[in-house]
Amino acid sequence: MPYQPIANHGVIGNMRTVALVAMDGSIDWLCLPRFDSPSVFAAILDDNKGGVFRIAPSHPPVRTHQFYWPETNVLVTEFLSADNTISVTDFMPASSGRSQ
């Protein structure tokens, strides 16, 4: 799959790590459980070997749209077609602050 432009990504995080969520429903970057941990998904660096997790319709939508719920870090990706709208909601709950 070709690289997604950085402008086609939303960011979700929990104050310990972040994920980049592309408009095609894929998580292209994620380090767990912290920023300095090894990457779990890294398609933004290598689209063949980097790894990705994707939730998306099996048939291409007519249009996609991403937005954050107001005053939150909850990201909604919508897949719009002539017949349907499918929404995928992504977020990371904030951690308690304790080391894990």
Count of structural domains within the chain = 1
Q: Assess if residue 10 is contained within a domain.
A: yes
Q: Assess if residue 25 is contained within a domain.
A: yes
Strand segments (E) across 8-72? 9-13, 18-22, 26-31, 39-41, 53-54, 63-68
Q: Assess if residue 69 is contained within a domain.
A: yes
Please state whether the predicted TM-score (pTM) of the whole model is above 0.95: no
Q: Assess if residue 32 is contained within a domain.
A: yes
pLDDT of residue 98: 61
42-54, pLDDT tens digit by residue? 999 988 888 999 9
Q: Assess if residue 61 is contained within a domain.
A: yes
